[in-house]
Structure 1
Amino acid sequence: MMTFTVEVGDPVIVGEVGGQVRRYVPLLGGKVDGDYSGIIIPGGMDWQTVMPNGCVEISARYALELEQGRVEVRSKGLRAGAPGVLARIAAGEIVPGSQYYFRTAMRFSSGSLELAALNQILAIAIGERFPNYVTLGIYPVL
């Protein structure tokens, strides 16, 4: 349905609680391509919980400026894999997405009549992490 290319800032560590590291990653902007096109508005945030084994629970919230109007995105997901692979990603290496699991469930909200159909779907994103950006392939759940 869409592909997001999301520019990300450096993670900000909030602290460790029970062996889990809480942090957030600023979303600096990006682009939307596919059935819809536009930009990712700078200012969103990806709150993360990093587990002792390197798996990351994701809870992101951000906005899109599409040709038809604005859309709020709410996303919850997981990046998981072998500890060595996750350590390489954490160190800033480029690791092919086929070597780890990166999925999120997405909900959309828009007041635009042209985008009203997005309000009534759940989508799954398949992600890939790069040093300064993330790509997300967005697929509607039918």
Structure 2
Amino acid sequence: MSFDALPIPTLTPAFDVTVDLAAPEVHGVTSAGTRRVVPILGGRITGEVEADLLPGGADWQVIRPDGTIEVDARYSARTDQGELLLLHASGLRTGAPEVLERLSRGDDVDPHEYEFRTVVRVETSSPRLAHLQRALFLASAERRASAVLYRAHRVG
């Protein structure tokens, strides 16, 4: 079999997420690197699934020496029908040092000036939403002063 014969993944828009954030908690340099925790205050999911993000999640970040941020966000959401979802987004935010500095100050920066991509996995006990657990989502994101916005695409 040839590698060229393997299917090429496709991307289909699935849902949009707005994540409202508290100020980062800087833990300093640990054995993993510079550790920062960003509490999640709430937010909203719209599209293939509609739900409110619940407060209490967080993004456990590691900041690399070059300024690249390793994202490891975990948070819950509740649909209007009361179904619970657990979302796990992991990825990277990187760019030129001056762009990353502007982002760290809380400036609004055009999302085309840096790369912010995550892989999103969904977990739920809801039979109606079980199909979300069988999918992998790739998201392109934008960091704002007190929020992250992303569009998740189903990888097919």
Q: TM-score, normalised by structure 1?
A: 0.95
- Distance in 2, matches of 1:88 and 1:38, equals 31
Q: Name the counterpart of 2:3.
A: none
- Distance in 2, matches of 1:118 and 1:37, equals 12
Q: Quote how far apart the aligned CAs of 1:17 are.
A: 3.2
1:22 is aligned to 2:35 = yes
1:63 is aligned to 2:76 = yes
- Distance in 2, matches of 1:8 and 1:33, equals 18
Alignment gaps of 5+ in structure 2: 1-13
Question: Where in structure 2 are the equivalents of 1:51-130 lying within 5 Å?
Answer: 51-68=64-81, 69-130=83-144
| Runs of 4+ with deviation above 2 angstroms | 17-20
User: Counterpart of 1:53 in 2: which secondary structure?
Assistant: coil
Q: Name the counterpart of 1:3.
A: 16
User: Counterpart of 2:54 in 1: which secondary structure?
Assistant: strand
**Structure that is richer in strand per residue:** 1
Q: Name the counterpart of 1:50.
A: 63
Larger radius of gyration: 2
Q: Quote how far apart the aligned CAs of 1:66 are.
A: 1.8
Given that residues 19 and 51 in structure 1 are in contact (C-alpha distance below 8 angstroms), is that contact kept between their aligned partners in structure 2?
Answer: no
Identity of aligned residues (%): 36
Alignment gaps of 5+ in structure 1: none
Given that residues 4 and 31 in structure 1 are in contact (C-alpha distance below 8 angstroms), is that contact kept between their aligned partners in structure 2?
Answer: yes
Matched residue count: 142
Q: Quote how far apart the aligned CAs of 1:20 are.
A: 3.0
- Distance in 2, matches of 1:127 and 1:40, equals 17
Q: Quote how far apart the aligned CAs of 1:19 are.
A: 9.1
